[in-house]
Amino acid sequence: MAAARRSRPLVGIVMGSESDRATMEEAVRVLEEFGVPCELAVRSAHRTPVATARWAKTARARGLKVLIAGAGGAAHLAGALAAHSRLPVLGVPLASSPLGGFDALLATVQMPPGVPVATLGVGSWGARNAAFLALRILALGDARLEQALERRAAEPGRAASRERGSRGR
């Protein structure tokens, strides 16, 4: 299924905490399936705000085209990235608090005008869909990637059979 392999990362995946890695690895697996390299980083809008801003500000210069941010609780990471970069930011709320991700969902989806964050579902389904949305964005300028996405969509029963066992946590 992989499109032409690229060596330079096109997608940046950042998570608020090392404990978020397992969920955000779901996005990595989807991108790898299509041969799209990514970089992973742990940054926090609250604990490492300067490093987070620097990561976002230098993303385009590093060749990144789309940013995916996964965070739980107050979940200001995606918004912090969007404030410091003009690249598309895809937010993945994570269920890391007693509120089960509802707090992260609200914090990620409710951004002020001019600081857009495309917010996906909570948890691993959101991480996978963030990767698929990143692929669709990249495919706007990449015919081979577009064809690979079309081939995957045409596989009979693929989505239903593959996703049935997981509940998006």
pLDDT digits (tens, 9 = 90+) for 98-156: 999 999 999 999 999 999 999 999 999 999 999 999 999 999 999 999 999 999 999 87
* Nearest one of 69, 64, 65, 94 to 79, comparing CA atoms: 69
Q: What are the percentages of helix, strand and coil residues in the chain, rounded to 5?
A: 45, 15, 40
Question: Residue 167 — pLDDT band, cuts 50, 70, 90?
Answer: very low
Question: pLDDT for 77-113, tens place per residue?
Answer: 999 999 999 999 999 999 999 999 999 999 999 999 9
Per-residue pLDDT at 169:
45
Q: Residue 168 falls within a domain, yes or no?
A: no
Q: What is the pLDDT of residue 74?
A: 86
How many Å apart are CA 63 and CA 120, to the nearest integer? 23
CATH of the domain at 130: 3.40.50.1970
3 state DSSP class of 103: helix
- CA–CA distance, 71 with 52 (Å, rounded to integer): 13
Question: Which run of H or of E encompasses 158?
Answer: helix 158-163
Q: Judge whether 39 lies within some domain.
A: yes
What does the pLDDT average to over 57-80?
96
Alpha helices (H) along the chain:
21-33, 49-57, 77-84, 102-109, 124-139, 143-154, 158-163
- Evaluate whether residue 129 is within a structural domain: yes
The encoded tokens of residue 67 equal 């940013």
What per-residue confidence (pLDDT) applies to 139? 98
* Total domains, the chain: 1
Is 103 a member of any domain? Answer: yes
pLDDT digits (tens, 9 = 90+) for 14-33: 999 999 999 999 999 999 99
**Residue-number span of the structural domain to which 149 is assigned:** 11-154
> Reduced to 3 states, what is the DSSP secondary structure of residue 66?
strand
Q: Retrieve residue 43's tokens.
A: 């940054």
Say if 95 falls within a structural domain: yes
In a domain, residue 89? The reply is yes
* 165 found inside a domain: no
Using a pLDDT cut of 70, give the percent of the chain over it: 89
